[in-house]
Amino acid sequence: MLEKTLVVVKPDGVQRSLAGKIIQRFEDAGLKIVGMKMVWIGKEFAKKHYTEDIEKRHGEKVRGMLVGYITRGPVVAIVLEGIEAVEAVRKITGSTYPSAAAPGTIRGDFAHMTKEHAITNDQDVQNLLHASGSKEEAKAEIALWFSEKELHSYKTVHEAHVFH
C-alpha cells in the first residue's frame, strides 16, 4: 500500500546540522520527498501536533515539555511517500528513547539520551526527529502541517524499480 507520512527534523536536529543526513537516510531507502519546508512553529500549533493523546500516554507535564522543545527553534517538515511508508520511516527512525534505539537507526546513530536521565533531570527527550506513529496519525499530521498545494506529484527514477 502506497502511503504518505510526516517527518519533522526537530530543533536539536537542525541546530546540530543533521537535517541533510537525516533526509539522506530516507532518500537512500527509496522514500520519495513529496513536500518539504522549514518552519518555526508557535505554541498553539505545537499543541495541535502534540494532541491530548500525548497527555494520555505521557501526562500533562511531558506534553508541556514537548511543546517547549519543538518550538525552541526552526524545524524541517517533510512528507515522504512509499510502500507502507509509515512503518518504513519508523523503522529507520528507531525507538523513541535514543538509548534503546538500535544502531543503524537515526536515533541510535546520532543520539544516546536515556528515558531515566530525562525523567531525573526533568527534561524533554531530544531525539532529533518526529515520525508519524500510525496511518491515522500520519493523515492528521500531514493535513495539519501541509496544504494540498504544498504536496507534489512526480516520478522518481527509483520508482521504475518499485513499480514495473
Residue number, nearest CB to ligand ADP: 96
Q: What is the nearest approach in angstroms of ligand ADP to the Cβ of residue 20?
A: 21
CB 94 within 8 A of CB 108: yes
Residue 123, all three cell numbers? 527534561
* Residue 74 engages Mg ion in binding (rule: CB under 5 A): no
* Residue 47 engages ligand ADP in binding (rule: CB under 6 A): no
Residue 112, all three cell numbers? 544516546
CB 146 within 8 A of CB 35: yes
Binding mask 108-147 toward ligand ADP (x if CB under 6 A, else -) reads -------x--xx----xx-x--x--x--------------
Residue 32, all three cell numbers? 520519495
143 CB contacts (<8 Å, ≥6 apart)? none
- β-pair type (2-9, 75-83): antiparallel
Q: What is the nearest approach in angstroms of ligand ADP to the Cβ of residue 149?
A: 27
* Residue 133 engages Mg ion in binding (rule: CB under 5 A): yes
- Give me the active site residues, please: 130
> In 3-state terms, what secondary structure has residue 38?
strand
* Residue 15 engages ligand ADP in binding (rule: CB under 6 A): no
- Interface residues with ligand ADP (CB under 6 A) are 57-58, 62, 65-66, 96, 115, 118-119, 124-125, 127, 130, 133
